[in-house]
A and B are shown apart, each in its own frame.
Chain A
């Protein structure tokens, strides 16, 4: 069970109080009624599903109720940073992603011993 830092409550809380809500920094088009089918597809359906750094939206639903954003590593499941909704994407050093201390999944370490 993860601990997640809520940028509004300013402390780490149990994952049980949170809900994941999908990718972050995908703005709803202002003129949504006028966009093309391709634009709508891009906005609504297409996601990158990256290995490694991802920006996500979370909600402290059983806490302060606020939606916020998180930079997370999909390999280790680790939260790298959380920040308030509306704040720009933080620039994270690439090192944060390749750091040897970043844990890997069980599957990745299976059978390996150094």
Chain B
């Protein structure tokens, strides 16, 4: 029996930022791509102990667990602890599709006064608090990569991307952060 395999994180060793922006790789998290029709939302919310938002660009948070609306029948569920989200979703006993994407995605935390400017280096969305308030989330583009953007505070964002895009996304965030420092 070989030694238990351990995780090698896609953004190990990455750090960056500027006078106005701090960039940190997010800790490993449990992630679920959850798909369901409206009639299943209630049961899934009960099972997940988290309301599933049904309005565009909104999210819900309960403890370490977050549900991000990505589309009319699609949520990204993130739990900052190691949890069997697929199992929990299945326990709801309703028609749904739950796929574990904990390792597909990785995330970078972007924090500081210049956070939105750094993200606007590659993201065309309006990140003012009016248009993208705390708790807002959206799948969008960041330069030539696709990301999920989640505002966790007035000057704090979580940027989720597929793991192989992480060097590009973190690199462009670092460039944006550098510019936001000037």
Contact = CB atoms under 8 A, between A and B. Distances in A.
B125 interface: yes
B42 interface: no
A16 B72 contact: no
Given A8-B56, A11-B56, A63 B74 contact: no
B124 A63 contact: no
Given A8-B71, A64-B74, A65-B70, A17 B56 contact: no
A105 interface: no
Main secondary structure of the interface of A (DSSP, over half): loop
Interface string B39-78: 0000000000000000011000000000000111010000
Nearest to A61: B146
A8 B124 CA distance: 19
B72 A63 contact: no
Given A11-B56, A16-B141, A64 B72 contact: yes
B71 A62 contact: no
Interface string A1-45: 100000011110110110000000000000000000000000000
A66 B138 CA distance: 13
Nearest to B144: A16
A62 B72 CA distance: 14
B91 interface: no
Contacts of B138: 9, 63
Contacts of A13: 124-125, 140
B139 interface: yes
Interface of B: 56-57, 70-72, 74, 124-125, 138-141, 146
Given A9-B138, A62-B139, 11 more contacts: A1-B124, A13-B124, A13-B125, A13-B140, A14-B125, A16-B124, A62-B141, A62-B146, A63-B138, A65-B139, A66-B72
Interface of A: 1, 8-11, 13-14, 16-17, 62-66
27 contacts: A1-B124, A8-B56, A9-B57, A10-B56, A11-B56, A13-B124, A13-B125, A13-B140, A14-B124, A14-B141, A16-B124, A16-B141, A17-B141, A62-B139, A62-B141, A62-B146, A63-B138, A63-B139, A64-B56, A64-B70, A64-B71, A64-B72, A64-B74, A65-B71, A65-B74, A65-B139, A66-B72
The 8 closest A-B pairs by CB, nearest first: A64-B71, A14-B124, A9-B56, A62-B141, A62-B146, A65-B71, A16-B141, A8-B72
